[in-house]
Structure 1
Amino acid sequence: MVSAFIPPVLGHSISETIIPDVKTTLNLFGMHLRKVRGEWEYPVHAHPQYEFNYVLEGEQQLVVNNRSYTQKAGDLVLLRPGDTHSSKSGNGKPFTYFCIHFDIDDKILISLLSRLNHVLFESGSTLAHKLSPVFTRLVEISNTISGDITMSQRMRLQSAVFELFGQLWEAFSIEANLPATGTYEKVELAHQIRSRLQGLVFQQFQAELPYDSHYGIDDIAAELGISASHCYRVFRQVFGVSPREFLSEQMLHEAKVLLDDSSLSVSQISSLLGYRDIAHFSRQFKRWYGKAPREYREADK
């Protein structure tokens, strides 16, 4: 195999700094700068990418996952994949906003995003204040585009977005008071654990595991060649919750999706999720959500 980089002969260097290889794929979707009238509304929708929404002038009213937020000039909103949301003017007057949808394969950045429960970051927050100059730059570049985008404009936009992610990392770490997540190897291990936990939910959902199976997190740790305590520690450092908490969140999500389907009885849902009887499922769901499955359905009507 031919090496892409051939180091100088040993002993010929006076000093040297080796930078680790950087391989990152960034995809940008639906980036737009828009000024709208006071009667403008955008209906409820969701998409599989992350979204940043930044208000430049006026006021926007957002409803995200059935919760309302008032976004004013300088405020930043972060939406995660699958978040349902709608928007309109917050005061019946025109407003201007900048929006960008993205996905990126950097696992450390995605891990950090997944740890934060915030949606709205007000202009006075550390994050919004730090990112404001980068959004100003993105808006300036966007204002130079009319018709087809040039190669120069495309590269400048990508450069600004990567600068946004750099500032985002620093600002999020401060905002969330997070310790360093560690090396890529640690993050990769945490993602392997998460993938297997999601597989565990899928197997349970597909009834591929018997109800009395004791296969779980300890077995995942053993398969990965690590101790259970190390499994817990790494997962919590990267994702901010324990593996068991994550597993419970995934099971609750599946349960709520099924309960939203009125054609399924609670008894059928209990069986689909691998529970031996409806009573056990009801107790578990109430422990997760604070309400029994039937109460959840009634409240959702």
Structure 2
Amino acid sequence: MQSFISIPTIESGLYMFGGHKHTVNGSWSFFEQKHQVFELMVIVNGHQITEIRDHEPIDLGPGDAIIIAPGTYHTNRNASATSKMTYMCLHFDFEDTQIRSRMIGLLVNHKYAAETPLARRSYEMLDKIIEYSRDCKQQNDFDTQVNIEIALLKYLRDLNRLMGEVDYKDSGMPYTNKEAKVGRDIVMAIENRVNNDDSSPSFNFSDICKELAISNGYGHRVFKKVYGITPLHFIDKEKYEKVQRLLEYSGNSIEEIAYMTGAANMSIFSKQFKKWSGYSPTEYRKQVIHKRSVRSKNKVGYFE
């Protein structure tokens, strides 16, 4: 009897930027900012005050950690006017919308004390990535980058396990089961339009809401609450990833790819892709042909 075991299709879309370990002087502060990705911070020594809009200030001490949600306005400063402080941080994102949603619902914008499993695991992961990055000459080495990605992927796996424990304790989510379902329906409708509907590739969020029989305003509010980003940002991200795949692996011309992703014309398509990646579509394809490895996302801040 023959057996067949399928291997799952995996497209993690792992993305990280702005990671570092930094020792700052007394009175150090960083201006208010927000990102469209998660930001992890762990204090090595000293104390940091993190202020999130509409929240009480959070005092983070040695070993304490915080994961700041996408789209969250926040500031960070050294709690001491004279003593130095050292912290580690990393901005990251990934493809799995359901894990992303649960992280936003269960883990973000809270202090995790040094002795908690999440803080310990966060410190361990960042410390390992910092060690991999210590030699600047090796940072672009393939083995180094794979090791860094593995460290982050293992961390995300462990966060997923920790969230299972949080769910069991019934901590409560900031959105209802109905809102979670609506959010998932929106994600599936967008992914289907982008990836499977080549006959009518041009669409907007209003089309998605009409398909799901919900209002634009309600759909926008629910999606932002569940996933921490706007529907437009998610549509753009899905289109960008489709364009990347087509430029890298298909034999389609750039004009055909522009049509397949719903661009009104080549000029708009080229400008949008350069905004996304830092390269024109032609430049991107040339890099792929020569290197088969393009790290264009690091060159711009659109998805930050």
Check whether the contact 2:183–2:223 (CA below 8 A) recurs between aligned residues: no
The 3-state SS of whatever aligns with 2:136 is coil
3-state secondary structure, aligned to 2:161? helix
Distance 1:100 1:248, change over 3 A: closer
How much does 1:121 deviate?
A: 1.5
- Kindly tell me: are residues 65 and 146 of structure 1, through their superposed partners in 2, closer, same or farther at Cα, counting changes over 3 Å? farther
Q: Secondary structure at the match of 1:170?
A: helix
Q: Which residue number corresponds to residue 191 of structure 1? A: 184
Partner of 2:106: 116
- Alpha-carbon distance, 1:46 to partner: 1.3
* 2:184 aligned partner, one-letter code: H
1:38-49 matches, within 5 Å, as: 38-49=26-37
How has the CA–CA distance of structure 1 residues 118 and 111 changed in structure 2, closer, same or farther, with 3 Å as cutoff? closer
- Give the structure, 1 or 2, with the largest relative contact order (CA under 8 Å, sep 6 or more): 2
Q: 1:59 is matched by which residue type in structure 2?
A: H
1:36 to 1:149, Cα distance in 2 relative to 1, 3 A: farther
How far has the Cα of 1:165 moved from its partner? Answer: 0.5
Identity rate, percent: 19
Q: What residue is the counterpart of 2:126 in the other structure?
A: 135
Structure 2 residue 37 is the aligned partner of structure 1 residue 82 = no
Matched, 1:73 2:62: yes
The separation in 2 between residues aligned to 1:152 and 1:168, in whole angstroms, is 24
Q: Which residue among 69, 89, 94 is the counterpart of 2:84? A: 94
CA shift at 1:162, angstroms? 0.6
Distance in structure 2 (CA, Å) of the matches to 1:248 and 1:167: 25
Change (3 A) 1:141 1:192: same
Deviation for aligned residue 1:39: 2.4
Q: Cα distance, 1:148 vs. partner?
A: 5.3
Q: CA deviation at 1:50?
A: 1.2
Shift of 1:28: 0.9
Q: Which runs of 5+ in 1 are unaligned?
A: 1-10, 180-186, 197-201, 204-208, 210-214, 221-242, 255-301
Q: Which structure's CA Rg is the greater one?
A: 1
The alpha carbon displacement at 1:61 in A equals 1.0
Output the CA distance in 2 between the equivalents of 1:150 and 1:75. 31
Amino acid at match of 2:185: Q
- C-alpha separation in 2, matches of 1:139 and 1:117: 23
Amino acid in structure 2 at the alignment position of 1:20: P
What amino acid is aligned across from residue 79 of structure 1 in structure 2? Answer: I
Asked if 1:126 is matched to 2:117, the reply is: yes
Q: What TM-score comes out, normalization by structure 1 length?
A: 0.55
Contact 1:62-1:71 within 8 A present in 2 as well: yes
Say whether the 8 Å CA contact 1:126–1:175 is kept in structure 2: no
Residue 37 of structure 1: CA displacement?
1.0
The number of residues matched between the two structures is 199
Give the letter for the 1:138 counterpart: I
Q: CA deviation at 1:19?
A: 4.0
Q: Could you tell me how far apart the structure 1 residues matched to 2:102 and 2:127 are? A: 24
The answer for the alignment partner of 1:60 in structure 2 is: 48
Pairing 1:159-178 to 2, within 5 Å after superposition: 159-177=150-168
Native 8 Å contact 2:106 2:166 kept in 1: no
Structure 1 contact 56–73 (Cα < 8 Å) conserved: yes
Q: CA deviation at 1:141?
A: 1.6
Query: How far 1:34 sits from its partner (Å)?
Result: 1.0
**CA offset at residue 118 of structure 1?**
4.2
Residues 127, 134 of structure 1: alpha-carbon distance in 2 compared, 3 angstrom cutoff: same
| Two-structure CA RMSD over aligned residues (Å) | 4.0
